[in-house]
Structure 1
Amino acid sequence: MKEALNRSDDGSDVDVVSIYDLLSFAEFYLGNTKSAAMYTEQLLQHYPSHERALSNMAVLNGLKEQSPEQFIDEQLPYYEYDTMNMGEREVYEATCREGRPYPPEMECKLTCFYYNGANNPRLIIQPVKVEVVYLSPNIYILRDILSEKEMERLKELGGPAMKRATVTNTDSNGFYKYAKYRISKSAWFNPEDDEQGYLAEIDQRIEDVTGLTLETAEPLQVCNYGIGGHYEPHYDFAMEGVHRHILDAVTLGGSGNRIATVLFYISDVEKGGATVFTELGLRIPPSKGDAAFWWNLKKSGEGDVRTRHAGCPVLVGSKWVCNKWIHERGQEFRRKCDLNKDL
């Protein structure tokens, strides 16, 4: 990966074949022969006559005959995948490569359904396709929630206005700064910024599907991640008592904490770029036109630490997303509170 970025910086061409070649070499050098074989096979799918890949495949096949155990999938059952004994960096990187299997008691309960917002007139004719991808906390994928024209409009608006994304400075008084753990470009938009009306339609759809008001929500953020672009594990909500100035920045003068996140995928990504939840082992690959939705806060108003998530590095391609952070104020009768801290 580092070598791919270096070649990109010095003006060299970095294409799919080159990256698969470098990944295969790196995995073989680290002793991961199974992964090296996988990347070599993928390279040959793009370029069947690649001489070095053909030669490497012959070597790997020879190793497979001598030591077949090196090529066996060693994915552990769920109960043996112990994140408590792994550092967050290890969990993050492992989940970016492959999500953890669902607990058996959960897998049979994951469902797909059509949702019309309790007979919302705008959703009766065209209900939303919802896929439940995790229980406790509830995480959903809203399939085909954006049209092709809407996604193109978001890119059209975002492209010229983008600047490098920043984070809140935890060492001072809340001013924003650049950070190595968040490499992307972003731009912010309100509905009135789009004279064609697409942003207003998207906001209305978010309200219809979530049942929440956007009166205190943040503007829509459009982001682009190039090769190597990523966002390391973080929470979308601010933790009270840790850094008070961050909470003040997020709550936007009385709007409350970020109660929920809607993350739209407005492009596919050829390799990498998944959204992963490090506490859950959940991996969501980008899927153009879909959106992920989750609650950042429990019904008690307490931040749900299980929603810690990250954007994995983009290895091949370009990742376009946009997100809407919805705040607490105005939701009092839309998502009622609960004294049970576990809900």
Structure 2
Amino acid sequence: MARWRARRLLPLVTFVTLGMILGSLLQLAFHHRLDGYSLHADSDPEAGLLRLGYVKPEVISWTPRIIVFHNFLSSEECDYLMAIARPRLQMSTVVDVATGKAIEKRISVFSQIPKENGELIQVLRYEASQYYRPHHDYFSDTFNLKRGGQRVATMLMYLTDGVEGGETHFLQAGDGECSCGGNVVKGLCVKPNKGDAVLFWSMGLDGNTDPNSIHSGCPVLKGEKWSATKWMRQKMTF
């Protein structure tokens, strides 16, 4: 009986594994294609909009899936987002779709998720000693799933330089150690460099929420950390 069950289970496991590998390879090939496409950026009207030739993807983890996009935003775009958010800044500030149109499209192209599936960009500011506790971006309740379904992925964009601490800490990524607000912790930590963005998935390739996507905002030791966050859903949100 056990041998019969094993024979039935093996094709399913093989199918799921091959699907995960194929999905990962296709995603990596897409980012290589974007990088190679920079050779023709000067002749493409949308090259500037997508910052082809400037944005450099770096896969830092497959479980959970995390990609750092270096130079995702220009310095001017970072300053612009802070400028429109500063007068009305509270806990978080929403950037409307019209003013963030170019950035919205760039997020959609690099994440391969339709922009209609995204929530509005939110801008946050962290001052010295402020941090964000470990959490998941996916929902655990049914109320928030009614409009747009589950959160699939997050694009976290850094708007300021010269910040000490303030790293984004992925607690279950990698098998090494990193610096989080001056403390050595297990996992992966991404330093908040102006213009860089971190794309990570809250759902796995199997369509289920990924508990390994748990992350936190490390304490800021010096300076101000400004960030802009875009959460993307399974379905259209607006």
The TM-score, its normalising length taken from structure 2, stands at 0.71
Q: Deviations over 1:285-338 (max 9, x none)?
A: 1111100001110133211000100000101110000010000115xxxxxxxx
| Cα distance between partner residues in 2 of 1:311 and 1:236 | 13
| Alpha carbons 1:273, 1:314 under 8 Å: kept | yes
State which of 89, 102, 106 in structure 2 corresponds to 1:201: 102
> How do 1:172-321 residues align onto structure 2 when only pairs under 5 Å count?
186-192=92-98, 194=99, 199-239=100-140, 244=141, 247-249=142-144, 251=145, 253-280=146-173, 281-321=187-227
| Alpha carbons 2:35, 2:52 under 8 Å: kept | no
Distance 1:316 1:210, change over 3 A: same
* Structure 1 position 279, deviation (Å): 1.7
Aligned residue for 1:116? 34
> How do 1:1-343 residues align onto structure 2 when only pairs under 5 Å count?
114-116=32-34, 122-123=46-47, 126-127=52-53, 128-164=55-91, 186-192=92-98, 194=99, 199-239=100-140, 244=141, 247-249=142-144, 251=145, 253-280=146-173, 281-329=187-235
Q: Which amino acid aligns with 1:313?
A: P
What fraction of aligned residue pairs are identical, expressed as a percent?
A: 30
Q: Secondary structure, in 3 states, of the residue corresponding to 1:229?
A: coil
Aligned residues: 186
| Alpha carbons 2:150, 2:233 under 8 Å: kept | yes
Aligned residue for 2:183? none
Distance 1:125 1:267, change over 3 A: closer
Aligned residue for 1:7? none
| Cα distance between partner residues in 1 of 2:163 and 2:172 | 25
| Cα distance between partner residues in 1 of 2:113 and 2:143 | 22
Q: Deviations over 1:230-287 (max 9, x none)?
A: 1010000012xxxx3xx423x3x33111100000011124311000011221111111
Q: CA RMSD in A?
A: 2.5
Deviation beyond 4 Å, 4+ runs, structure 1: 117-121
Q: Deviations over 1:17-51 (max 9, x none)?
A: xxxxxxxxxxxxxxxxxxxxxxxxxxxxxxxxxxx
| Alpha carbons 2:131, 2:218 under 8 Å: kept | yes
| Alpha carbons 1:257, 1:328 under 8 Å: kept | yes
Q: Which amino acid aligns with 1:296?
A: S
| Cα distance between partner residues in 2 of 1:125 and 1:220 | 19
Q: Which runs of 5+ in 2 are unaligned?
A: 1-30, 174-186
Aligned residue for 1:103? none
| Cα distance between partner residues in 2 of 1:269 and 1:231 | 19
* Structure 1 position 118, deviation (Å): 9.3
The TM-score, its normalising length taken from structure 1, stands at 0.50
| Alpha carbons 1:117, 1:208 under 8 Å: kept | no
| Cα distance between partner residues in 2 of 1:305 and 1:117 | 31
Q: Which amino acid aligns with 2:52?
A: Q
Distance 1:299 1:313, change over 3 A: same
| Alpha carbons 1:275, 1:285 under 8 Å: kept | yes
* Structure 1 position 209, deviation (Å): 1.1
Larger relative strand fraction: 2
Larger radius of gyration: 1
* Structure 1 position 212, deviation (Å): 1.0
Distance 1:203 1:118, change over 3 A: farther
* Structure 1 position 153, deviation (Å): 0.7
* Structure 1 position 218, deviation (Å): 0.7
| Cα distance between partner residues in 2 of 1:269 and 1:289 | 12
| Cα distance between partner residues in 2 of 1:286 and 1:161 | 23
| Alpha carbons 1:114, 1:129 under 8 Å: kept | no
Aligned residue for 2:18? none
Distance 1:125 1:268, change over 3 A: closer
Q: Which amino acid aligns with 1:300?
A: D
Distance 1:158 1:125, change over 3 A: closer
